[in-house]
Amino acid sequence: MSNATVDLVCGPADPLPGSEQSYRLTGLLGSGGQADVYQAVRVSAGISSAPLTVKVFRPNPQDTREHQFRSWDKGDAVLMDLHSRNVGSICRRIDAFYGRAPHPSGRPPQGDPMPFQVLEYLPGHDLRQLLSQRIGRVDAARTLRSVLDVMNAMHHPPVGAHPVLHMDLKPANVIIGPDGSAKVIDFTGARYHTPAHLTTIAYTRETAGPEAHQGTVGPAYDVHGFGSIAFYLVTGATARTDSPGQEQSVPWARLRRHPVLESNPRLRELLTAPLDDNPDNRPRTEELPRWISELAAVVSRANLPDLGVDWGHQVGGPADATRRLAPGADRTRRMDAPAAMGVPPTQVVPQSPPPSGTRIMDAGPAPEKQPISGRVRVPDQGSFSPGRSAGPAERRGPLPRLRLATDPEEPSERQLAEQDRHPLLGPPGSLAKGFELSVIGGLFSLIMWLLRVVTTGLETLQNQVFSYLFVLAVAIGLFFLVRIAGGILWGRWLHAKRKSARLAHLVTGVFLFMVGIDYLGELDWDFLSFDFTWISDLFGL
């Protein structure tokens, strides 16, 4: 599809004469719910600049101009901020101004001023064009990683910056350049993740998460959009659809049941994880790099139809987005809005919360009509309180259900129960506490045993050594018996914390002391008798 040629001018409503003819519009690139997008050049003293993109606001008669202008300004402020943060893989913002509607050169402008946005011109095609028209091949993993880089920059900003939600990630908003690089476009619906900005939610029925109908979104909303891009790269179809012949019992589109996924359960599990109806079940942004690697590996091993998408292996030639597949496909276009001409925005009233889990319905024929898109009005944010970033995001609760092949095996319920049980011998390091009590009893019994050996003679030394070793073995067994009994009683029944083994050591020490007393009772004290008569003879007594 070629650009529609136009010859119009526009510019800011400035006091400088001729300012309202400073931009020359040469081609209509596309139209969306809020704006028309033109290819243009900046004209100064008759000299034209390199190609640019000019986005012209198109008012909605069903809404107030002030509300629409404030909504436009929020998206423009977010894009300008991301540009100043040097976020890569996005369409750069160059300028913004208020001016009157584009008009033929030489004619005076008409109407009231409206907002304009000047962006860089991106040669190339969006993912929807590339796959549907087979214009060129796409490196899927590279594309997904580029989108993920933008998401990480938005969701985890530098210290002091506000986190951002794009809120309209979809195949039509990813441009593949001639070199195969991917860039995210259309930040009209982007908002800071703060209550003051989240007064409306961008919503495309075929790609957006159901939580938009509740009026509460977060980074998981962008994760769903990211998942819809991956779904399109694998299947060539939108992630959500209204199945023919099925009663529409919920206000959001159900997840598409695709034959390619039904024949590959592992691929279906991976691809539907970021598309779950429940945002809490989706992978977090920081988990998506591993998800991409696993998805690429699974798709590469699967026998899927060739849609012109490469997943780490070559199919029919190099993965170059500029390789022509059909005559006349050499014209590059820049799309910064859905291709539908004049589609009015849709106001959606928040509905009841979605049921647990993801609803999947059989897919009907691929829809020919353009996706339904628009804004969901958010009446109240309640206890919603994200603010400026204070550094890395805090970890949320338990990990979602996503598991990759490289992950370690999850412990079974029995293993988890064993881990939660109090160890019978106590925590590590506790056995040594109180060891001095056993040492005192042991030393006393050893000394008494040695005296007993001296008095009874060395003829039975071997038997006496074995008897003492048996005493020590009994003492060790008594120690562990007391320790295990304490683990059952105090640890598992009473759930008390045991920090030492002093009681077991005390019982062991008392046992050895009593053995020593028994040895003491067997001693023959005659060997201690001395002849003191020499002392009396010495003094003449």
Domains of the chain: 1-121 (3.30.200.20), 124-243+252-324+342-390 (1.10.510.10), 419-528 (no CATH)
CA 21 to chain centre: 46
pLDDT at 465 over 90: no
Percent of the chain with pLDDT strictly greater than 90 = 42
- Give the pLDDT band of residue 340 (cuts 50, 70, 90): very low
The pLDDT value recorded for residue 343 is: 35
- Which residues, in sequence order, are CB contacts of 247 under 8 Å at separation 6+? none
Task: Look up residue 457 and give its two tokens.
Answer: 């003679």
CA 215 to chain centre: 21
Task: Look up residue 329 and give its two tokens.
Answer: 């496909």
Of 65 and 323, more confident = 65
* Closest of 496, 487, 505 to residue 431, by C-alpha: 505
Of 206 and 244, more confident = 206
Residues 114-153 have pLDDT tens digits of 999 999 999 999 999 999 999 999 999 999 999 999 999 9
pLDDT at 249 over 60: no
The pTM assigned to this predicted structure is: 0.63
Of 63 and 171, more confident = 171
The pLDDT value recorded for residue 154 is: 97
- Which residues, in sequence order, are CB contacts of 211 under 8 Å at separation 6+? 217, 220, 221, 279, 354
Residue environment code for 123-158, b if the CB has 16+ CB neighbours within 10 A, otherwise e: ebbbbbbbbbeebbbbbbbbbbbbbbbbbebbbbbe
Mean pLDDT score of the chain, rounded to an integer? 79
State how far the Cα of 115 lies from the Cα of 430, in Å rounded to an integer.
Answer: 72
Cβ neighbour number for residue 119 with a 10 Å cutoff:
25
Average pLDDT (32-43) is: 90
Residue environment code for 288-303, b if the CB has 16+ CB neighbours within 10 A, otherwise e: beebbbbbbbbbeeee
- Give the pLDDT band of residue 375 (cuts 50, 70, 90): low
State how far the Cα of 74 lies from the Cα of 92, in Å rounded to an integer.
Answer: 16
Q: Kindly give the residue spans of alpha helices, DSSP state H, lying in 308-403.
A: none
- Give the pLDDT band of residue 499 (cuts 50, 70, 90): confident
- Which residues, in sequence order, are CB contacts of 40 under 8 Å at separation 6+? 23, 24, 25, 26, 51, 52, 53, 54, 118
The pLDDT value recorded for residue 384 is: 40
CA 320 to chain centre: 29
Of 235 and 521, more confident = 235
The pLDDT value recorded for residue 274 is: 96
- Give the pLDDT band of residue 365 (cuts 50, 70, 90): very low
Average pLDDT (494-503) is: 77
Of 481 and 369, more confident = 481
Percent of the chain with pLDDT strictly greater than 70 = 74
- Give the pLDDT band of residue 406 (cuts 50, 70, 90): low
Answer for the pair 294, 405: CB distance below 8 angstroms, yes or no.
Answer: yes
Of 338 and 394, more confident = 394
Q: Quote the strand ranges of 181-286, DSSP E.
A: 182-184, 191-192, 200-204, 240-241, 254-257
Average pLDDT (236-256) is: 71
The pLDDT value recorded for residue 286 is: 95
State how far the Cα of 398 lies from the Cα of 384, in Å rounded to an integer.
Answer: 21
- Which residues, in sequence order, are CB contacts of 280 under 8 Å at separation 6+? 220, 400
The mean-pLDDT minimum among 274-283, 284-293, 362-371, 500-509 falls in 362-371
- Give the pLDDT band of residue 56 (cuts 50, 70, 90): very high
The mean-pLDDT minimum among 25-29, 225-229, 454-458 falls in 454-458
- Give the pLDDT band of residue 484 (cuts 50, 70, 90): confident
Answer for the pair 60, 68: CB distance below 8 angstroms, yes or no.
Answer: yes
